[in-house]
Chain A
Amino acid sequence: AQSVTQPDIHITVSEGASLELRCNYSYGATPYLFWYVQSPGQGLQLLLKYFSGDTLVQGIKGFEAEFKRSQSSFNLRKPSVHWSDAAEYFCAVGTSGGYNKLIFGAGTRLAVHP
């Protein structure tokens, strides 16, 4: 069965520091991979997505993610974090067949210290 694991429940970084949020997935075929961000009480905003091609994808707000098939990972990175990046981040895998529901990880809550 498909699954997504985000090993870090909470991460705290200082403003200006680099960030990497981990995501591992389990899926037998080629996955469609997504990162979403959710501010408190808000909806889900798409940061970036990977379907095929270049394994390094660029997203909004200066985020990027790298798909590594050998490691079943799709880690999210940002070179310099801003205070406004404090939020919850969800990795998701979409099945490439059928009706393509999304399966979400449990999320990583990011806190940013000034």
Chain B
Amino acid sequence: EPEVTQTPSHQVTQMGQEVILRCVPISNHLYFYWYRQILGQKVEFLVSFYNNEISEKSEIFDDQFSVERPDGSNFTLKIRSTKLEDSAMYFCASRGTGGSNYGYTFGSGTRLTVV
């Protein structure tokens, strides 16, 4: 079964550093997402991406965050200057189109720890 692949699985970074979280969505999917889950809390929507641009973003997704699909296969989330409160599990997801293809597939997540 097709998978969404996320790398790295764990990342520790110092406060103020830039991090890039990487995702390889399912190849025939057209919609891409990032979600965040702070430890012990619910999964929160960050941003959706379609047709090479951001289609929707949440209040969490401020100027410190950016997304990119640099080469047609990878989908990245960049945090420009990390803060302690950015520590969380970050999930990438991709989605097919309607009918039986409609469904989200999540990656296994990247656990980001900011120290």
Contact = CB atoms under 8 A, between A and B. Distances in A.
A binds B: yes
Interface in A10-48: 32, 34, 36, 41-46
Contact of A90 (B33, B43, B48, B103): B43
A45, A49, A100, A106 — which one has the most chain B CB atoms within 10 A of its CB? Answer: A100
A44 B36 CA distance: 12
Interface stretch (B11-19, B70-78, B80-88, B105-113): B105-113
A90 B42 CA distance: 8
Nearest to B54: A99
Given A43-B108, A46-B104, A106 B55 contact: no
B interface, over-half SS:
strand
Contact of A104 (B31, B43, B48, B50): B43
Contacts of A104: 42-44
Contacts of B31: 99-100
Given A34-B104, A43-B108, A46-B103, A101 B45 contact: yes
B102 A51 contact: yes
Nearest to A6: B42
A43 B107 contact: yes
Interface in B36-66: 41-45, 48, 50, 55-56
B42 A99 contact: no
Interface of B: 31, 33, 35, 41-45, 48, 50, 55-56, 91, 93, 95, 102-109, 111
